[in-house]
Chains A and B, each alone.
Chain A
């Protein structure tokens, strides 16, 4: 059972453009929604995370938008740079600070062309 669905599978944008990656979840008990960035040969690194009590969170060029009623959340990368080229994973868990299991999406491979 895939509890977190991510799209698109791959994304190509031009430098300076906006990258948008979407995720949908099924389990309404989820209350912690992080995004991870992974470069080839490296482990995933936490990028930004949101909890369902807010609809948007921004950190620098990265923004999470959260729609609780639709059970969807998305990552927006503004002014995308070639250095942003990586695989991005959304994830979800319940009781997030307690460290319960994170369920990951299948990933989006982002390529930012110079």
Chain B
């Protein structure tokens, strides 16, 4: 079965460094999401794309976070500079059309030292 691919699975960085996460959604899924999940909490939406366009980035800390999906397929989430509080799991998800069903990748675990 097709899956949402994410990389890297784990990233350790020092604060003030730049980090980037990559996501490849399930083929044919036009809607893509980036969520952040702090340990012990539920995922929180950072940004939603419809094809290459941003639909909702109201919760994205735009001073340090950026996201793009240039060709409407894979997507990159960047953090620059990373802060200690950014330590979390960054989850990518794509939406099966007309169902409301989100399929999540395995996530990218970020640790900021």
A: residues with CB less than 8 A from B are 4, 6, 32, 34, 36, 41-46, 49, 89, 91, 93, 96-99, 101-102, 104-107
A49 and B101 in contact, given A106-B41, A106-B42 (Cβ under 8 angstroms): yes
Determine the distance from Cα of A102 to Cα of B105 in the docked complex, in whole angstroms. 16
Could you tell me if B48 and A46 are in contact, using CB atoms closer than 8 angstroms?
no
Min CB distance A41 to B, Å, is 7
Closest B residue, CB atoms, query A93: B100
Min CB distance A102 to B, Å, is 7
A102 and B106 in contact, given A43-B91, A44-B43, A107-B42 (Cβ under 8 angstroms): no
Q: Which residues of the other chain, B, contact A32 by a CB distance below 8 angstroms?
A: 100
9 additional contacts (CB under 8 A) given A101-B45, A102-B102: A42-B106, A44-B43, A45-B104, A49-B100, A89-B42, A99-B100, A102-B43, A107-B40, A107-B41
Could you tell me if A105 and B100 are in contact, using CB atoms closer than 8 angstroms?
no
Determine the distance from Cα of A99 to Cα of B100 in the docked complex, in whole angstroms. 5
Q: Is B25 an interface residue (CB 8 A)?
A: no
B: residues with CB less than 8 A from A are 4, 31, 40-45, 48, 50, 56, 91, 93, 95, 98-107
Determine the distance from Cα of A45 to Cα of B105 in the docked complex, in whole angstroms. 9
| 7 sampled A-B residue pairs with Cβ under 8 A | A45-B104, A46-B101, A91-B42, A96-B100, A99-B50, A99-B100, A104-B42
Q: Which residues of the other chain, A, contact B50 by a CB distance below 8 angstroms?
A: 99
Min CB distance B12 to A, Å, is 16
Complex partner residue of A46 from B56, B91, B102, B106, CB under 8 angstroms:
B102
Q: Which residues of the other chain, A, contact B103 by a CB distance below 8 angstroms?
A: 46
Could you tell me if A99 and B104 are in contact, using CB atoms closer than 8 angstroms?
no
Determine the distance from Cα of A43 to Cα of B56 in the docked complex, in whole angstroms. 21
Q: Which residues of the other chain, A, contact B102 by a CB distance below 8 angstroms?
A: 34, 46, 102
Min CB distance B87 to A, Å, is 16
Determine the distance from Cα of A94 to Cα of B68 in the docked complex, in whole angstroms. 25
